[in-house]
Amino acid sequence: MMEKMIFGRYVPMDSVIHRMDPRSKLLLVFLFVCIVFLANNLLTYILLGLFTLLMLGMSKIPFRFLYAGLKPVVFLVIFTLILHLFLTKEGELLFKLGWIEIYEEGLRQGIFISLRFFYLILMTSLLTLTTTPIEITDGLETLLNPMKKIKFPVHEMALMMSISLRFIPTLMQETDKIMKAQMARGVEFSSGPIKDRLKAIVPLLIPLFVSSFKRAEELAIAMEARGYRGGEGRTKYRQLVWTYIDTIILTFMAILTILLILFRT
């Protein structure tokens, strides 16, 4: 449980994708989400599929982790596939059995749309499976840096984000402690009528708020004592390094985009 709180879905491993710069991974996934909608015929879907498989292969993520992300939607995808099969009545009639009629266009649409859906889920999961949330935050901060020109507080946002990531496990522990303390006094959290269970949350939340403000005060003093003066000229503990791998993979992505634009009908 605790592990899950700190790293989200991150699967620690050593692979090309894990070593990629979070910036290029963010760009990659963002572009991919955009270009997935360009595909509209067999060739373009195969190209996208090959790219997705290549990325998944390079990430070395075991299949069960990917499946865990797909599981909630598999049913939905099958449902939409069936809807398309039976409801789209265009193109040639392929199959007829009593009242069941399957048309060419329905089959095509159904399969393409399910594929597109799988590609989207797999690629977005790939980002969260191979990158820790703190790396994503760092990546976003540097990517959004140009926004500083229009007075958008990029550094402050990233700081708040990292603090909140850092304190999720701590506050979870605290919640657990308060819960046990209240249980020792006879509060029931997991049984009884809903109304009572809701009321039981109140003596949990109030100490949590008060203690988190105490922590905030202490952290503010500590940061001041160490000379925190905002983002200007601040150095970093985790440096982002752009390597040749990032350039190669983004070039691949660019080629894929061009191919998609050329081959789409």
Partner 1 sequence: MKRLKIKALISIGMLSSISYILMLLNFPLPPFPNFLMIDFSDIPAIIAALIFGPMAGVLVELFKNILDYFMTGSATGVPVGHTANFIAGTIFVLSTHFIFLKLKSKKGMTFALVGASIIMAILMSILNYFVILPAYTFFLNVPAMSAPDTRQMVVSAILPFNLVKGLIVTGMFMIIYVRLHSWIGKQATYKI
Whether 109 contacts 83, CB under 8 Å: no
58 binds partner 1 (CB under 8 A): no
209 vs 244, beta carbon nearer partner 1: 209
Whether 31 contacts 257, CB under 8 Å: yes
Stretch near partner 1 under the rule CB under 8 A, chosen from 11-19, 92-100, 115-123, 256-264: 115-123
156 vs 261, beta carbon nearer partner 1: 156
* List 46, 50, 78, 87, residue binding partner 1 (CB under 8 A): 87
20 binds partner 1 (CB under 8 A): no
Residue type present at position 68: A
Rounded Cα gap, residues 111 and 46, in angstroms: 12
Q: Tokens for 163?
A: 């603090």
73 binds partner 1 (CB under 8 A): yes
* List 168, 179, 187, 240, residue binding partner 1 (CB under 8 A): 168
User: Other CB atoms closer than 10 Å to residue 141's CB: what's the count?
Assistant: 21
Tell me which H or E stretch contains 96: strand 93-97
Helix (H, G, I), strand (E, B) or coil at 102: strand
Between the alpha carbon of residue 1 and those of residues 13, 63, 176, the distances in Å are 20, 21, 12
Between the alpha carbon of residue 120 and those of residues 27, 51, 59, 93, the distances in Å are 14, 12, 16, 30
Residues 119-148 binding partner 1 (CB under 8 A) are 120-121, 123-125, 128, 133, 136
202 binds partner 1 (CB under 8 A): yes
Residue type present at position 135: E
2 binds partner 1 (CB under 8 A): no
**Interaction site with partner 1 (CB under 8 A):** 8-9, 33, 69, 72-73, 76, 79-80, 83-84, 87, 113-114, 116-117, 120-121, 123-125, 128, 133, 136, 156-157, 159-165, 167-168, 171-172, 175, 198-199, 201-202, 205-206, 208-210, 212-213, 215-217, 219-221, 223-224, 228
